[in-house]
Structure 1
């Protein structure tokens, strides 16, 4: 049993969280889910969805997999040193780090993506890559894997990445079964990016 911890902040993008959580939640015998924020309490998504979180210092289980979501709230966190320091600590202790959308901007700003390949949301691309020139940014990618880091493109790409991670950790048939169960048309090839128009 591995623990997936989602690090949340106000104004996160709703599907950045719930897309991957739907996929991992289909394997409850393998993944335990927990939701955290800097100080705990209720965190609201951009669309007003309220999430009960525990403070990072009060997590019940050590983080094996860190899920870093994105959204408009990243603009408030990008220069928030306590948040970035907490992120660095979680990354250091996690076996795997998954980011969706502009979540990779926070990872880049924290310095944990230095010398790594990564991708992010196309609509916020220039803002994201401005956070660090030490990251090897890959604009044409549905998701990118480099070491323990999985970074995905915008919003719905998080579901493709989550299934890709599950395929890598388990097998592709397991990922396909989840895609079938959720009636989701999974883009299995991380290099095929229909939203890239370079």
Structure 2
């Protein structure tokens, strides 16, 4: 299965590369770095990434949408959101990290569904997309084919949760050992929600 990592200028590096580290441990997953126009995309931390241009005719698998400062202008970009909706609908699964959930929410695909986002931006998130059933006290949320995670590092936990759901918990545990990572595996426990 392809793991399509959707990048845009000023995305948060760990939002994308935390899940990349997790999914990259699974041989059956193939990583693709994609963007709407292709070419080099730079993260908020100035990491340049060469991307392929998204095209519906050869799109399949999972779509991962990171967050970051670049979300803010895109959330009100109708052309971007209209294009994104086509890929969200075609994706087998759609995962978001941090405020990437706002871009997903703007497509209307998670109206009346449960989702979460970065707690430091939660008021903006709720106000931007009130049709979504936002869950504040959640490390990540699963609703159908949609997985949404809280801020930045929560994307790693969500990605491990996805692998546990699809390939078994032992697979996820093996990855945590390889990464030397302590997994916050309770998706409903978010220590950061109380700090908002």
- Report SS of the residue matched to 1:114: coil
168 and 196 in structure 1: CA distance in 2 versus 1, 3 angstrom threshold:
same
Distance across 2 between alignment mates of 1:56 and 1:64: 13
* Secondary structure in 1 matching 2:8: coil
* 2:102 corresponds to 1:105: yes
Correspondences of 1:7-86 after superposition (within 5 Å)? 7-28=6-27, 30-57=28-55, 61-86=58-83
Whole-angstrom CA distance in 2 between matches of 1:50 and 1:178 = 26
SS at match of 2:192: coil
Aligned-residue offset at 1:129: 1.2
Alpha-carbon deviation of 1:149? 0.2
The aligned residue for residue 157 of structure 1 is 154
TM-score, scaled relative to structure 2? 0.96
Equivalenced residue count is: 195
Q: Name the SS for the 1:130 alignment partner.
A: helix
Indicate the RMSD between aligned Cα atoms, in angstroms: 1.2
Where is the helix percentage greater, Structure 1 or Structure 2? 2
Q: Which runs of 4+ in 1 moved over 2 A?
A: none
Tell me the TM-score normalised to structure 1 length: 0.95
